[in-house]
Amino acid sequence: MKTPLFQIHEETCIKCNSCVRICPVKAIRVDVNTEFPAIIDARCIGCGSCYRACSPGAITYRSSVDEAKGILSSGSNVAAICDPTISGEFHDITDYRKFVEMIKQLGFDYVSEVSFAVDIVAGKYKDLFENFNGKYHITANCPAVVAFVEKYHPDLITNLAPVVSPMIAAARVVRQKYGQDIKVIYFGPCIAAKEEALRYEGDARVDSVLTFVELRNLFTEFNIRESQVEFAEFDEPLGHKGSLYPISNGILQTAGINEDLLTGEVITIEGRNNMLDAAREFDSRIDIIRRHFNIFYDEGCLMGPGTSPGGEKFLRMSLVTDYANKRLKSFDKERWDEEIRSFANLDLSCHFTADDQRLPIPPSEEIEEVLKMINREGQMHNEIGCEACGYVNCREFAIAIVQGLATTEMCHVFSGRNRQEYIKTLRSTNEKLAKTKTALKDSEERAKREQEAQKESGDIISSMFQKLLSGVVIIDDNMRVIKSNTAFVRILGEEAALVDEVIPGLIGADLKTLLPVHFYKMFSYVLSSDETIENKDVVFGDNKLSVSIFPIRSHKYVGGILRDMYVPEVRKEQIVNRLSEVIDENFDMVQKIAYLLGEGAAKTEQMLNSIIESHRNPTKK
């Protein structure tokens, strides 16, 4: 089984959701049980945005270092093919000839620059664009762009230019030049190239792909430094203007493709958001735009995720152009023409495969239910949003929640306000109850005798209620807690315990603030349908619960019993054998409690009416 390209390590993750916000295709899901983000490998396009956005370093990509060292020690002839971006990345190495020798010191037999492959690929694009037959194309040089089209715009696959990337072209060039059995290792700025290499076999095979960061690590591991090596030149064939490839429109200049704003027929696009917009507009407006699209996910290859962090774009751009100019001063045009002719019949064709990862839009009523839950109802709230959750507006966020990609807690506005206001409301309610208690103190003597009659039985039942190992809760038709026991608070966890300190028993608490969406919906279903849910297994956090939910009074009161299957007492064989008896006893106990609550409510209502009447007629005795 293939190792995922990216992984999130929970022991390092601080749950800031930066990766969720930056992912262009929402390939990162927040688990409702653990609240940790998880990368969905099938949806990932390999762009590396999450890797660069993760400040704690909790996201890593698949390392190829051990794989490369194994190839180098295998006894086979090995060729290194280096992306032209080396000139921008390795500015700390004063002469590229030293860089070439440093790579050879690792054990490589040949070191070639991909710039020659860029030259021949650029020539293919020139032929494709100049022999226009009515269909506009998207360049297929950036593997993240190719994966994006295959997964999220599969209708545009036929518009992807059927030309291999310079990396694959370079592998074919090296094998034609130095033999079909040679092993090929690519060094470059792109993490997605690791996935691209897995697509090809035969003479197009790239045996291992290492980022520039991994190459630097190899230099460090083997203590290879510029000061200790001599000059060495890249092995032939040498490139012409292909050294400009790291700059987004470099491939166009390499081929001499017209970029004039008035007469040119190619638009160059770079960057995450521009790629998303370009794909959408190409899909819907290409008949009006009438241009080919040259798209790179990053700002060219200069700032690829496999480069050293903290790179400066314009410095790197200047280093690339300076390097190209330096190489052109001693360029042997005749030798280059001869090499171009020798590779004239090289197969540079490729094909692409649809891998549709688009998720269906949920029913509107489910979306509206989530919007109502997060207090973002109405057309205005649907179309705006702070984007802190990673979605462009509240409606898109609600859709993601229904699709299982997000949770309500990801909305910082809702989550923060809800918790703060909820605790504040509970405290305020508690203060009001205390004042009401003082105001009613003079009237308590009227009900004292009756209360004492009920107190003894109530204390017994309440004590038994609290001693139950199972969590028990009773809610009203507003989904607010009427009664709950200690086991229920314990099962809900720390946040519920904090609320319990303010309002014992969680009385008056809104159930949707205590339970996740899928759990809360079970209570809502029983309240509306009057149907019982018995012994349903539910995963809640790290616990597995056996849940029974039943109507107490039709559409008015609902009771729930939650049994933690991991509690040792519950797991004992004796308890398992008496499961039916325990459930029957719990149901009977809860129904008795509900009955007493109903009786108490009626008598309390009579008492309050009497108090109100006495205040309306103060002179009446």
Q: Is residue 402 part of a domain?
A: no
What string of DSSP letters covers 494-510?
HHHHHHHHHSGGGTT-B
Query: Within this chain, do residues 338 and 476 fall inside the same structural domain, yes or no?
Result: no
Q: Are residues 53 and 70 in the same domain?
A: no
Are 16 and 108 members of one domain? no
Amino acid at 60: T
Report d(CA 539, CA 549) in Å as an integer: 15
Residue 391 lies in a domain: no
Same domain, 85 and 39: no
Mean pLDDT on 228-248:
92
Q: Which domain CATH number covers 26?
A: 3.30.70.20
Across 584-593, average pLDDT: 65
- Same domain as 201, residue 111: yes
Alpha carbon 155 to its chain's center? 24
C-beta separation of 357 from 42 below 8 A:
yes
- Statement to judge: residues 6 and 89 lie in one domain: no
Tally of domains in the chain: 3
pLDDT of residue 537: 85
pLDDT at 601 over 60: no
CATH number at residue 598: 3.30.450.20
Residue 201 located in a structural domain = yes
Instruction: Please indicate, yes or no, whether residues 57 and 150 belong to a single structural domain of this protein.
Output: no
Indicate whether 54 and 165 sit together in one domain.
Answer: no
User: Domain limits at 304?
Assistant: 63-342
Least confident of 131-145, 326-340, 572-586: 572-586
pLDDT of residue 621: 46
Q: Domain for residue 389, yes or no?
A: no
In this structure, is residue 143 part of a structural domain?
A: yes
Residue where a domain terminates, one of 281, 311, 342: 342
The answer as to whether 411 is a domain residue is no
Closest CA to 148 of 47, 273, 298: 47
Query: Which tokens is 455 given?
Result: 């107190």
pTM above 0.85, yes or no: no
Three-class secondary structure of residue 558 per DSSP: strand
- Residue among 520, 474, 484 at smallest CA distance from 504: 484
Structural domain ending residue among the three candidates 324, 342, 360: 342
Whether the pLDDT of residue 176 is over 80: the answer is yes
Q: Tell me, yes or no, whether 76 and 122 share the same domain.
A: yes
Residue 367 lies in a domain: no
Strand, helix or coil for residue 515:
coil
SS (H, E, C) 35-99: CCEEECHHHCCCCCHHHHHCCCCCEEECCCHHHHHHHHCCCCCEEEEECCCHHHHCCCCCCHHHH
Nearest 10 degrees: Cα torsion 129, 132, 134, 136: 0
Q: Do 18 and 68 have their domain in common?
A: no
Confidence of residue 265 (pLDDT cuts 50, 70, 90): very high
Question: Among 65-79, 273-287, 320-334, 411-425, where is mean pLDDT lowest?
Answer: 411-425
Residue where the block lists tokens 């012994």: 535
The confidence score (pLDDT) of residue 598 equals: 60
The answer to whether the beta carbons of residues 118 and 245 sit under 8 Å apart is: yes
Confidence of residue 379 (pLDDT cuts 50, 70, 90): low
**Which range, of 102-116, 163-177, 534-548, averages the lowest pLDDT?**
534-548
Q: Is residue 577 part of a domain?
A: yes
Residues 151 and 207 in one domain: yes
pLDDT in tens, 8-56: 999 999 988 889 889 999 999 887 677 789 999 999 999 999 999 999 9
Task: Please tell me whether residues 471 and 574 are part of one structural domain.
Answer: yes
Q: Would you say how long the chain is, in residues?
A: 621
| Residue 430 DSSP SS3 | helix
Which of 46, 62, 78 lies at the terminal end of a domain, its last residue?
62
Q: What is the mean pLDDT of the chain?
A: 85
